[in-house]
Amino acid sequence: MGTVGTAATGWIIFGFAVYFGTLIAIAVVGARRMRDMADYTLGGRRLSAFTAALSSGSSTASAWTMLALPALAFTGGLVQIWVPLFAAVGVFLSWTLLARRLRRYSIAANNAVTIPEFLEARFADATGLLRAVSGAVTILFVVFYVSSGLVGGSKLLEQIFGLDLVTGVALTLLAIATYTLIGGFMAVSRTDVAQALLMMGSLAVLVVTLLLETVRPFGHGAAPGFFDPFSLTDGSPITLSFVLSASGWAVGGLGAHRILQRFMALEREEGAGQARNLALVWLIAVYGLAIFVGIVARPALFEAGLLSEVMDTERVYFVVAEVFFHPVFVGALLTAVIAAVMRTADSQLLLASAIATEDLPVLKRIAQGLAANARVWMGRGLLVAIGVVSAVISVWFPDSIFNLVSYAWGGMGAAFGPVIILALYWRRFNMWGAMTSVVVGALTATLWQFTGGGPGGVWDISPATPAFLIAMAASVAVTLATPKPSSEVVALYDRVNAAPR
């Protein structure tokens, strides 16, 4: 199935215009309250529990939720439910274990606004090495995550208008950068709420419609194990390799900076519990609906005689929308996809620009010589530059949305999950252990991602799980083999953890 019809295209353009106009209005309002880089990156720590919950949740549920998850279920069946289930568990654990302590610690640690800055202050690293390495590793994974969003946007624009990959990627980047540049963190977080609700509503409408339109929604066109969460499509039981790969999606939530930033930006520490519960409910609903779309789409398209129209499984959402809905509703449903695509990239670009400005040595020295407003503009310029790098990767090294997200999400979790957990909970933890965690986690995840095969398919396991475990073990070993942290570092740890809960 190629581009959509003329009538549907008109409604889609109208929906996009209304949606994008709303984003710009929110961004303009947010820009009026922005005074310095702290406002641009953390919104002055004024994030409510409700906004933090939906913002962190929708940051997790991005283009891969709307396009890759239905594709996984469409191809692999109900067994793919384990991927989003573990991802939700990871976010729950992150809120439970990290949110309160990280907010409190980041304020005590010189009011840090980025994770690399927090790590430098946490370990009193006067060399700046830990901050620089952490910043570089973060930007590496952000570039690939943004690339996944740009790929998703280009697929959408190709489906609607027949645009080529280069044009689609460029237009997607332009749309994302525009409102992110204007409004900064608070604008991005507040648009997250609207985008989160739009995504959930669209998936719910798709699921209900497919159930009503299909005679046998759990029968036609499916392999023997398609509807069994414990079996692969050939009927064989799930393997240890499958479980380890799926569990890696929990790791990302422990190290994903865009989630950790929401913790740091909370207006009140006491709101963490409420935000966690709301985020979990939202994630379960959206992930479940996305999997259900893929599950029911197969029998629905089989009955309609259109199963062969799904040439690229990551476009199954588009095909279902076009086949079963009036052009008016197609516009709304595809607007939800562009919302998800933007959610993939806006927080990531904002995060990367803040880290490039505040944490990379050369750029940091330049920024320190600028006035507060000029530093914000420097951050905006770096946001565009990082977006362009992501766009180049999207065009020159195209990959599936799922693979790009798997590497970026898992790599970030492996590199920063162990160091954040140990920094918040282990008094003996030192700078060399922290450095080891970041470097070993990033290198192991990268090695695993770009290697295949091995005994029992070990290299085919999602990189997050082995990289997280290896990084955790290595950081503990190095910490115990190197000198204890200074009295200054221990005193800060004791002071933070002695604060009233």
What pLDDT digit, counting tens, does each position of 67-90 carry? 889 999 999 999 999 999 999 999
Q: Which CA distances in Å does 329 have to 65, 177, 299, 342, 472?
A: 20, 27, 22, 20, 48
Contact in structure between 147 and 156 (CB atoms under 8 Å): no
Give pLDDT, residue 14.
Answer: 80
The three-state DSSP-derived secondary structure of 384-453 is: HHHHHHHHHHHHHCCCCHHHHHHHHHHHHHHHHHHHHHHHHHCCCCCHHHHHHHHHHHHHHHHHHHCCCC
pLDDT tier for residue 187 given thresholds of 50, 70 and 90: low
SS3 184: helix
How many angstroms separate the CA atoms of 254 and 489, rounded?
A: 23
Q: Kindly indicate the confidence band of residue 222, based on its pLDDT and cuts at 50, 70 and 90.
A: low
**Spatial distance between the Cα atoms of 417 and 467, rounded to a whole number of angstroms:** 10
- pLDDT of 458 > 80? The answer is no
Q: In the numeric block, which tokens belong to residue 70?
A: 């239905």
Q: How confident is the model at residue 5 (pLDDT cuts 50, 70, 90)?
A: low
| pLDDT confidence of residue 184 | 53
Determine the pLDDT at residue 40: 47
**329-385 pLDDT, tens per residue?**
888 888 888 877 776 677 788 788 888 888 888 888 888 888 777 877 787 888 889
Of 239-243, 248-252, 315-319, give the lowest mean pLDDT range.
239-243
Buried b (16+ CB within 10 A) or exposed e, 428-467: ebbbbbbbbbbbbbbbbbbebbeeeeeeeeebebbbbbbb
- The rounded distance, in Å, linking the Cα atoms of 389 and 210 is 39
Q: How confident is the model at residue 311, as a pLDDT?
A: 84
Contact 385, 143 (CB under 8 A): no
Return phi, psi of residue 266, to 5°.
-55, 140
Residue 189: name the closest of 55, 46, 338, 41 by CA. 55
Mean pLDDT of the chain: 84
Of 25-29, 123-127, 252-256, 476-480, give the range with the top mean pLDDT: 476-480
Distances (CA, A) of 67 to 23, 48, 220, 299, 415: 22, 29, 22, 18, 26
More confident residue, 193 or 491: 491
- Confidence check: pLDDT of 476 > 70: yes
Decide: helix, strand or coil at residue 483: coil
Six token digits for residue 133: 């390495």
Contact 445, 407 (CB under 8 A): yes
Residues 378-418 pLDDT 10s: 878 888 899 999 999 999 887 888 888 889 999 999 999 99
Q: Which residues of 169-200 are buried (b: 16+ CB within 10 A; e: fewer)?
A: bbbbbebbbebbbbbbbbbbbbbbbbbbebbb
Query: What b/e sequence results for 247-259 when a residue is b if at least 16 CB atoms lie within 10 Å of its CB, and e otherwise?
Result: bbbbbbbbbbbbb
Among 2-16, 284-298, 311-325, the minimum mean pLDDT is found in: 2-16
- In eight-state DSSP terms, residue 309 is G
Copy the structure tokens of residue 144.
Answer: 């690939």
Cβ neighbors of 21 (< 8 A, separation 6 or more) are none
Give how far Cα 46 sits from Cα of 49, 260, 264, 286, Å: 10, 15, 10, 26
CATH number of 6-398: 1.20.1730.10
Predicted local confidence at residue 322, as pLDDT:
87
Q: Which amino acid is at 217?
A: P
Backbone angles phi, psi at 48, to 5 degrees: -75, 165
Model pLDDT, residue 123: 96
- Greater confidence (186 vs 443) lies with 443
Q: What is the pLDDT of residue 120?
A: 95
The predicted pLDDT at position 226 comes to 84
- The pLDDT value recorded for residue 240 is 83
Percent of the chain predicted with pLDDT > 90:
40
Q: What is the pLDDT of residues 242-289, one digit of tens each?
A: 888 899 999 998 999 888 988 888 888 888 888 899 889 989 999 999
Q: At what angle do helices 316-324 and 327-359 cross, to 10 degrees?
A: 150
DSSP 8-class letter at 217 = T
DSSP annotation of 70: H
Nearest to 359 by CA among 172, 178, 117: 117
Q: Report the range out of 13-17, 259-263, 375-379, 456-460 with the highest average pLDDT.
A: 259-263
Does pLDDT of 315 surpass 50?
A: yes
Q: What are the extents of the domains in the chain?
A: 6-398
Tell me the C-alpha distance between 81 and 148, whole Å. Answer: 21
Beta bridge partners of 47: 266
Q: Record the tokens describing residue 186, joined without a space.
A: 């608070």
